[in-house]
């Protein structure tokens, strides 16, 4: 019986992977958590997500700590729309409570990479925004995108957003859902 229990837990461990204790917290509006708890995660990794949003000069830094999200580990997101910049970095580590880091600004590669994209941004418009001017892409931003959705921003404002600009491959792959504190209620359109 003892052997059977042992065998069963071995099999379960193999099937479900290892487990890891991780720091858990989120702060949508500041680069540090005031209250951290512990969470048990499947697999042997913990994750921290660092986020930087520059909204026409209004900078918001956010942090998330918890269980790893499949496919986001050690990926960087980068989006430029007009004067707005969105940077995102998900770092994963292997050890109990290893995700105890303090905020690190996501890789700040502001070097122009030669690509340009039509760019515009509207709130509460039902139509696709119209670009009057191209924006210069930076760093890993290798694609243009068009996005329209009803979303909630970290500050709680709800609106029908329409945006065009530069993005990198990863930001497009995760469908913009990676952003901390941003909740997409209904998507109308995404093209990269």
Point out which residues bind ligand NAG (CB under 6 A): 27, 29-30, 32-35, 52, 54-58, 85, 87, 100-102, 105, 108, 110, 123-124, 126, 150, 157-160
Query: 93 - beta bridge partners?
Result: 46
Nearest distance from C-beta of residue 18 to ligand NAG, angstroms = 18
Residue 97 — left, alpha, or beta (φ > 0 → left; ψ -120 to 50 → alpha)? Answer: left
Residue nearest to ligand NAG (CB): 30
Measured from the CB atom, is 10 or 30 closer to ligand NAG?
Answer: 30
What is the C-alpha to C-alpha distance for residues 166 and 145, in angstroms, rounded to an integer? 6
Q: Which residues contact 29 (CB under 8 A, 6 or more apart)?
A: 60, 62, 154, 155, 181
Nearest distance from C-beta of residue 6 to ligand NAG, angstroms = 30
- Alpha-carbon distances of 59 from 6, 22, 84, 138, rounded to whole Å: 52, 28, 10, 18
Measured from the CB atom, is 10 or 149 closer to ligand NAG?
Answer: 149
CA 76 vs. chain centroid, Å, equals 8
Nearest distance from C-beta of residue 168 to ligand NAG, angstroms = 14
Nearest distance from C-beta of residue 192 to ligand NAG, angstroms = 21
Measured from the CB atom, is 74 or 102 closer to ligand NAG?
Answer: 102
Q: What angle do CA 129, 133, 136 make, to 5 degrees?
A: 110
Measured from the CB atom, is 101 or 175 closer to ligand NAG?
Answer: 101
């Amino acid at each position: 019986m003892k052997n059977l229990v042992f065998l069963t837990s071995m099999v379960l461990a193999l099937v479900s992977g290892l487990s890891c204790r991780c720091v858990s917290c989120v702060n949508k509006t500041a680069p540090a958590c005031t209250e951290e708890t512990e969470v048990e995660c499947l697999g042997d990794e913990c994750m921290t997500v660092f986020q930087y949003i520059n909204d026409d000069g209004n900078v918001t830094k956010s942090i998330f700590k918890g269980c790893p999200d499949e496919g986001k580990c050690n990926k960087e997101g980068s989006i430029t729309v007009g004067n707005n910049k969105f940077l995102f970095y998900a770092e994963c580590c292997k050890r109990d409570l290893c995700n105890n880091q303090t905020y690190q600004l996501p890789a700040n590669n502001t070097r122009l990479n030669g690509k340009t994209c039509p760019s515009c941004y509207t709130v509460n418009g039902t139509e696709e925004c119209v670009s009057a001017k191209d924006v210069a892409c930076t760093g890993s931003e290798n694609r243009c995108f068009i996005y329209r959705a009803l979303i909630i921003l970290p500050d709680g404002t709800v609106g029908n957003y329409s945006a065009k600009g530069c993005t990198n491959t990863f930001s497009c792959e995760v469908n913009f859902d990676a952003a901390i504190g941003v909740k997409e209620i209904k998507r109308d359109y995404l093209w990269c």
